[in-house]
A and B are shown apart, each in its own frame.
Chain A
Amino acid sequence: KNEVEQSPQNLTAQEGEFITINCSYSVGISALHWLQQHPGGGIVSLFMLSSGKKKHGRLIATINIQEKHSSLHITASHPRDSAVYICAVGRGVASGSRLTFGEGTQLTVNP
């Protein structure tokens, strides 16, 4: 069993839909990261969380430390949101430690 599990693996939505991607992990962490990867490989950091909730534009990330679970929500989805979304956890005593990644969720938003 992977230390970081994401669901779903693939997600297709219509423009405007509310989207949720889930991440569960099985180890103690110092921080959880949500990342976005477009075709071509470059990875963009969306959020780093150690507790609670963060919001940036149409993106919201939440984490429940007790349940070892995090969710990434996209409101009013748009075709430009189509990408792979990756959950990763840092396991050091402070942020900046190496990351263990989930396998990613391929999101496709159709117009």
Chain B
Amino acid sequence: DTGVSQDPRHKITKRGQNVTFRCDPISEHNRLYWYRQTLGQGPEFLTYFQNEAQLEKSRLLSDRFSAERPKGSFSTLEIQRTEQGDSAMYLCASSFWGSGYGYTFGSGTRLTVV
């Protein structure tokens, strides 16, 4: 297992365009989390899944944001009609609920909206 993979690593898009990011968690992990990190700040929670069920969404996740984990494996995060304020690092992490083990983070996708 190569850990948590995120794709792409970097994305530059024009304001108003839609973007989609992908996260492949560790295969045995049943929980998958999305966080957003702006420059100089700690990450902020966006949403998480247990298997294919989306259990919680942050108020930060506006109607322009949608996340899916259709088969309980990889997840996608889509941002529609991007705004400059969406520019951030989008981090994915996975864990095995109830195992007592910690998180494994991906390397993140850095989004720049121009």
Contact = CB atoms under 8 A, between A and B. Distances in A.
A25 interface: no
A43 B91 contact: yes
Interface residues of B, number: 30
A15 interface: no
Given A41-B110, A42-B108, 6 more contacts: A31-B102, A45-B104, A95-B102, A96-B96, A99-B45, A101-B42
B94 to A, nearest CB: 10
Interface of B: 31, 33, 35, 37, 40-45, 48, 56, 89, 91, 93, 95-108, 110
Contacts of A33: 102-103
Interface of A: 4, 31, 33, 35, 40-45, 48, 86, 88, 94-96, 98-104
A45 B89 contact: no
Contact of B98 (A41, A96, A102): A96
B89 to A, nearest CB: 5
Given A43-B91, A94-B98, A103 B42 contact: yes
A50 to B, nearest CB: 9
B99 A41 contact: no
A98 B35 CA distance: 10
A41 B101 contact: no
